[in-house]
Structure 1
Amino acid sequence: MADVRDLYQEVIFEHNKNPRNFGVLAEHNRHAVGHNPLCGDQLTIYLEVDEADTVQDVKFEGSGCAISVASASLMTQIIKGKSKAEAEEIFQAFHDVCTKQREADDTPELGKLSVLTGVRDFPSRVKCATLAWHTVHAALEHDEEGASVTTE
């Protein structure tokens, strides 16, 4: 178990220190703001989605705890090139594992994101890990008002 926790911490620290796809996406056609009032995390997700509903590019900006930033960074890597339906499927799988509705072993589609599913052991951190995903869901649905993660 210590090895898994070490990997979990290493990935979170690396993506928090050097987040991938961080910044404003100048040519975005969808965006949303997400906020976790319990933790103070705040993210804006920018998407370039083509006419076939495929995420061509994605970036995020904002601030928050290491878990929320790492999750947003990993999310941007995973959903780039995915259809809206595929992104939603990954979000649902991630959410289900984080909230103990599904086992991580049953979700190979999570890839690198699976290291963050360790938050399931820390219920107060689930909202931090899922904020970016709730926000990208809002952006995909053209809901610019975004997501406020107060309940799971």
Structure 2
Amino acid sequence: MSFNNLDTLYRQVIMDHYKNPRNKGSLDDSSLTIDMNNPTCGDRIHLTLKVEDGVVQDAKFDGEGCSISMASASMMTQVVKGKDIDTALKLSSIFSDMMQGKELSEDVDLGDIEALQGVAKFPARIKCATLPWKAMEKGVNEENIGE
């Protein structure tokens, strides 16, 4: 597949998650509630996670922001559901490396998240993409889950 076709496909995936977000809303019985914002861009996220026995049973988000931040939140909630906290944090670290333009050394299937690789070329947009991931990390670390 040519670079242009791949770029177009990635844009379509991002716009699909933006226009048809997965896991949008809030959990009533959540273990964690995290609110974060990106003041440079105006992105805002309200993330709720239901964690039982060290496993993310459910994840939902609400908020407002650019297509990158909202698509990233949609993708992140999809990928962490059903994962243990250590795996969710490892995925967050891998995502952060990807946003810094580092080669992905591990053979990990990131699914739709790979569509955000191109964001690394736009430093001003990296905070948009990482906001939901940082919110998840903050919530887990503040509650000392997974330790």
Q: TM-score, normalised by structure 1?
A: 0.88
Q: What's the CA shift string for 1:41-92, capped at 9, x where partnerless?
A: 0001101000x21100000000000000000000010000001100000000
1:35 and 1:131 in contact (8 A); partners too: yes
Mapped partners of 2:39, 2:106: distance in 1:
31
The residue type equivalent to 1:65 in the other structure is C
What displacement does 1:111 show?
Answer: 2.3
Q: Do residues 141 (structure 1) and 137 (structure 2) align? A: no
Aligned pair count reads 141
Mapped partners of 1:8, 1:127: distance in 2:
19
Identity of aligned residues (%): 40
Mapped partners of 1:128, 1:104: distance in 2:
20
Q: Do residues 17 (structure 1) and 19 (structure 2) align? A: yes
1:31 and 1:142 in contact (8 A); partners too: no
The aligned counterpart of 1:73 is 74
The aligned counterpart of 2:84 is 83
1:104 and 1:117 in contact (8 A); partners too: no
The aligned counterpart of 2:119 is 119
Q: Do residues 96 (structure 1) and 120 (structure 2) align? A: no
**Higher RCO, 1 vs 2 (CA within 8 Å, ≥6 residues apart):** 1
What displacement does 1:108 show?
Answer: 2.2
What displacement does 1:106 show?
Answer: 4.1
Q: How does 1:56-67 map to 2 (within 5 A)?
A: 56-67=57-68
Helix, strand or coil at the partner of 1:141: helix
Mapped partners of 1:133, 1:89: distance in 2:
11
Mapped partners of 1:123, 1:91: distance in 2:
18
Task: Report the aligned-residue RMSD.
Answer: 1.3
The residue type equivalent to 1:135 in the other structure is A
Shift in CA distance, 27/20, structure 1 to aligned 2, threshold 3 Å:
same
What displacement does 1:107 show?
Answer: 4.9
Mapped partners of 2:36, 2:9: distance in 1:
27
What displacement does 1:37 show?
Answer: 0.5
Mapped partners of 1:104, 1:113: distance in 2:
13
1:43 and 1:62 in contact (8 A); partners too: yes
What displacement does 1:105 show?
Answer: 6.3
Q: What's the CA shift string for 1:4-52, capped at 9, x where partnerless?
A: 21012101111110100000111101111111001000001101000x2
Give structure 2 stretches of 5+ with no counterpart.
none
The aligned counterpart of 1:41 is 43
The residue type equivalent to 1:128 in the other structure is C
